[in-house]
């Protein structure tokens, strides 16, 4: 006797179990596993940004490959474009980039390096040292220099870019809005950054500074920056300053129009730079203030002449 065919209700129930219950069970099981075990790349990113050294070291000990984690924050932080919401594409940022750009403690950087983090990686053509300089992170820059970073490393882009050929000093000056800019510049100059290095457009650090950073210009002049240097278009720092005069921010006793006066032939920058070059080292801040005072006094700035009494 032939067995009877299963009832339609039994077939429907079996399909329901296969189509609905099984996939749901798999998804729930995966979520439970993820909750218990975490997502390593996300978790190590969290350990780094929370400064949890013990957690970071444990994760790196269990899996040293995590030191080369790609930063995929965009995986769960979509961004909106004109055509709707879509995930941000990863463009080459690793965990070590975050550690450097956010000025993480040296112990965290040490842990990543010891586990095998690649210190030669670049982001949009910039080496790690330039990322630290651009982010205003003097502590990260110092750590990188202590671990073999080259002060003369430059940005190299696969396609034409604004920062092509820049050094760390260029990047530090270009990042005018970063709170730690002055500290980074002081560090780089103390470590021997080249003042005459030029980017792809032929501009020195003083050219970039002349576009709007009055205080930084004074520092570069004290260290012997060449006032007469010309870029690929034949422009001196004075030419750049005159072009940017309308947008040059006021700083201390200078005022917006002071930059061209400071950089012109016979101006305070030329005097400071000549002194530094003659001595083979930077002019001290006190002596620099005297030159600064004489410059301001000649411009008629009130109460400034007392600064420049000594010669």
Greater pLDDT, 105 or 179: 105
Q: What is the pLDDT of residue 40?
A: 81
Give me the mean pLDDT over the 186-204 stretch. Answer: 96
Q: Indicate the pTM of the whole model.
A: 0.78
Give the model confidence (pLDDT) of 73-98 as tens digits: 544 344 444 455 444 455 678 999 99
CATH class of 195-311: mainly alpha
DSSP the chain: -PPPPPPHHHHHHHHHIIIIIHHHHHHHHHHHHHHHH--HHHHHHHHHHTT-HHHHHHHHHH-GGGGG-B--GGGSS-EEETTEEEPPPP-S-BHHHHHHHTT--HHHHHHHHHHT--TT-EETTEEHHHHHHHTT-HHHHHHHHHTT--TT-----SS--TTTT--HHHHHHH-TT-TTHHHHHHHHHHTT--TT---TT---HHHHHHTT-HHHHHHHHHTT--TT---TTS--HHHHHHHHGGGPPP-TTS-TTHHHHHHSTTSHHHHHHHHHHHHTSPPPHHHHHHHHHHHHHHTT-TT-GGGG---
Confidence of residue 107 (pLDDT cuts 50, 70, 90): very high
Domain map of the chain by residue range?
Answer: 195-311
């Amino acid at each position: 006797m032939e067995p009877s065919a299963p009832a339609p209700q039994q077939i429907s129930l079996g399909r329901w179990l296969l189509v609905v219950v099984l996939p749901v069970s798999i998804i729930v099981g995966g979520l439970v596993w993820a909750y218990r075990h975490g997502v390593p790349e996300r978790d190590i990113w969290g350990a780094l940004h929370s400064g949890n050294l013990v957690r970071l070291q444990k994760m790196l000990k269990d899996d040293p490959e995590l030191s080369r984690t790609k930063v995929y924050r965009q995986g769960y932080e979509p961004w909106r474009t004109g055509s709707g919401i879509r995930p941000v594409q990863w463009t080459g940022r690793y965990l070590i980039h975050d550690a450097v750009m956010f000025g993480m403690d040296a112990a965290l950087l040490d842990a990543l390096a010891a586990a095998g983090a690649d210190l030669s990686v670049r982001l949009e053509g910039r080496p790690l040292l330039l990322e630290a300089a651009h982010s205003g992170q003097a502590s990260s820059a110092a750590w990188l220099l202590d671990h073999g970073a080259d002060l003369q490393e430059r940005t190299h882009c696969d396609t034409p870019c604004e920062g092509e050929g820049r050094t760390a000093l260029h990047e530090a000056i270009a990042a005018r809005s970063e709170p730690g800019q002055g500290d980074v510049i002081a560090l780089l100059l103390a470590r021997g950054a080249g003042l005459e290095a030029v980017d792809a457009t032929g501009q020195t650090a003083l050219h970039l500074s002349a576009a709007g950073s009055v205080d930084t210009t004074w520092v570069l002049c004290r260290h012997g920056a060449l006032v007469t240097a010309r870029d690929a278009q034949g422009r001196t720092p004075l030419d750049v300053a005159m072009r940017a005069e309308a947008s040059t921010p006021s700083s201390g006793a200078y005022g917006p129009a002071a930059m061209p006066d400071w950089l012109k032939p016979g101006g305070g920058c030329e005097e400071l730079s000549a002194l530094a070059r003659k001595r083979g080292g930077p002019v001290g801040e006190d002596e620099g203030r005297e030159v600064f005072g004489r410059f301001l006094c000649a411009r008629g700035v009130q109460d400034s002449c007392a600064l420049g009494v000594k010669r």
